[in-house]
Chain A
Amino acid sequence: MKTIAELEAIRKRTLDEISMRTDEESVRIVIGMATCGIAAGARTVMTAFLDEIQKRNIHNVHVSATGCIGVCRLEPIVDVIDKDGNKTTYVHMTPEKAAKVVVEHIANGKICVEYTLPENK
């Protein structure tokens, strides 16, 4: 038998798991997964994002794939779109950089400028 407190805990835990099915605002991580992206290693970048999010137990983050944006030479490209719709584009991503973006940007709100377009540096 469950107590009322246990039921509340189940509610919270499960909601984290399935919150993507509601309209709630979330941070979106969009990874370019067209042929160019996959060839440049986008798949390992995506896996790295998923692992890191899981490891750090971060909620309200959506990870999804998208097509080619046209700047194939900068792939793997990853867009991070925050709750207010502000977009940060990371280029030449690697699994290591992905892990760092999760910690710095997603968890702490600090953009990793060094991974963005060269002209920003």
Chain B
Amino acid sequence: MQFFRSHILVCGGTGCTSSDSAKIIEELDKLLVDKKLDKEIKVVQTGCFGLCEQGPIMVVYPEGTMYCKVKVTDVAEFVEEHLIKGRIVTRLLEKSSDVKDGEYAIEKSSFFKKQLRIALRNCGVINPELIDEYIAFDGYKALIKALTEMKPDEIIETIKKSGLRGRGGGGYPTGSKWEFAAKQDNDQKYVCCNADEGDPGAFMDRSVLEGDPHSIIEAMIIAGYAIGANYGFVYVRAEYPIAVKRLQIAIEQAREYGLLGDNILGTGVKFDLEIRLGAGAFVCGEETALMTSIEGKRGEPRVRPPYPAEKGLWQKPTILNNVETLANIPMILLKGPEWFASMGTEKSKGTKVFAIGGKINNTGLVEIPMGTTLREVIYDIGGGIPGGKKFKAAQTGGPSGGCIPASHIDTPIDYESLIELGSMMGSGGLIVMDEDTCMVDIAKFFLEFTVDESCGKCTPCRLGTRRMMEILDKITKGRGKMSDLDELETLARDIKAASLCALGQTAPNPILSTLRYFRDEYEAHIRDHRCPAGSCKSLLSYEVTEDKCIRCGLCAKNCPVNAITGSKKDEIPFVVDQDICIKCGVCYQKCPVDAITK
């Protein structure tokens, strides 16, 4: 064993990689050799730490010091100061955390304090490309336990007792799904993993695959043993190159160690799996479309029942679990169903991973026990809203979900409470919106997405979403009628009822939920031709408030189309000519005394 006095963990997730973490590793390696420290200090590339906003992240052990926004040019100073002289480079520490002197450990930062990491347990801790590091932190221990001490029905019973529900959005009890597939009498069954994460702003599954790919492989083998399947597929989108590469490496390592193959660990159990790449169609995250795509056909959904557990891939019994669901499985077997069920709320057990984005300080990935309130997520973990703006709403569930308004910020987050509010858990995207966000515009944004992604197989979804889109477009341009709102509601109800798959059935949710909580904003657009958030361009008019204006002339000087006239010298008040104005907002930003209103 080589003894290293220090491990430097550098995030190799997609976020940090895009801000040059790979080059930081290169530079570290080079400098360590130059300073002859390479035999005593080790550089480790890990998965996502979660605090993507502050990336690239670098954590130094044994101290646990977390450095943020590290640049390649910072590396030399870090090596000289921290590694050689033992002095922490304080200017690179996380700014928001309330650390006391000498307490710079990663666990102390406010971002991590309220989190409970189960699915993300190894992300940012191990090197995902080394199977030995996964094994060190109890990896494949649950598999050994399952194969040597448990019968298949005992495993299913354990999962059922834990209360684990599907983390992909639907929230169907995982144990029941497995039980249903196990009961099917068939010589061939399959286990599938849904890693076709498509919600805008969501990256939970990507981070698990990038940071801890072996946990998915382990869980799939366990699932195969439990339901009697000997083959599996991981369906992952091709737009996740790092995830695909790490999963491929992990599969090869698992085969080499005999964890996949004809005789797993000498127990006689057989299981193997392969990766199938999706081409980026949102609908392929829907289970029947996903399976059709794996079969090599055009990814379109089909009518259920029969459910995949009965007739799935190639008409054989198949279970499909989401990445995050699977990541929980090994821990449940190791620590017991009671342990898992002790976390969360009455009907939603365990934890949930959320990708928080939008108007929030700590954009990133968090894992919290079910039942944590939205306020805790946004203010305690997320660090609040930039610029001290007011919280308006949070959007969960992506294009299938809805908005939770500020009045419900203290709702404990679980499957039931979100449904009750007209939203849904979804896969875990959480977009925070502040007072400057127009709710009609947000509904339009998500609807634009579903219009683009509708596969076209059924009419309500293909045409219905397009008609709703046209109405929303009219409203945001100030050409809507009050009767449009009723028509929107009728269409939404029909589309929900008549669409073939979940994509269409949930597509109207963003509209219904914004209508429910922000109907006044829709009405302001229609009746007063006014966008209350000041975001819909066609409805804006920039005007100079005469008694506030100090006649400095900055607005006129910066206007790109010379729409503002007035005179500094002759004390003539400045005015905006609405016919020429292109509503670019430059005057609004430049005015030093906030005399321009929109």
Contact = CB atoms under 8 A, between A and B. Distances in A.
A and B are interacting partners: yes
Interface of A: 1-4, 7, 10-11, 13-18, 20-21, 23, 26, 28, 30-35, 38, 46-47, 50, 53-54, 57, 62-67
10 contacts: A1-B261, A2-B259, A7-B257, A11-B135, A11-B138, A17-B2, A17-B4, A50-B40, A64-B86, A67-B85
Interface of B: 1-7, 9, 39-40, 61-63, 82-87, 107, 125-126, 132-133, 135-141, 144, 148, 257-259, 261, 263, 265-266
B7 A21 contact: yes
Nearest to A52: B3
A20 B7 contact: yes
A3 B265 contact: yes
Given A20-B62, A50-B40, A14 B136 contact: yes
Contacts, number: 101
Contact of A53 (B3, B7, B139): B3
Given A1-B263, A7-B265, A64 B85 contact: no
Closest 5 CB pairs of A and B: A65-B86, A1-B258, A14-B136, A62-B62, A63-B5
A13 B1 contact: yes
Nearest to A32: B86
A27 B525 CA distance: 67
Contacts of A66: 86-87
A28 B135 contact: no
Nearest to B261: A1
B3 A28 contact: no
Given A3-B265, A28-B62, A65-B84, A54 B2 contact: yes
Contacts of B137: 15
A66 B82 CA distance: 8
Contacts of B39: 50
B86 A15 contact: no
B214 to A, nearest CB: 12
Given A4-B265, A38-B84, 20 more contacts: A2-B259, A4-B266, A7-B135, A7-B140, A7-B257, A10-B136, A11-B139, A15-B137, A17-B2, A18-B136, A21-B125, A26-B62, A34-B85, A47-B40, A54-B2, A54-B3, A64-B63, A65-B83, A65-B84, A67-B85
A4 B148 contact: yes
A17 B1 contact: yes
Contacts of A34: 85-87
B144 A7 contact: yes
B148 A62 contact: no
A7, A15, A32, A57: most-surrounded residue (chain B CB, <10 A): A7
A11, A16, A33, A57: most-surrounded residue (chain B CB, <10 A): A11
B215 to A, nearest CB: 15
Contacts of B6: 20, 63-64
A38 B4 CA distance: 20
A109 B2 CA distance: 23
Nearest to B63: A64
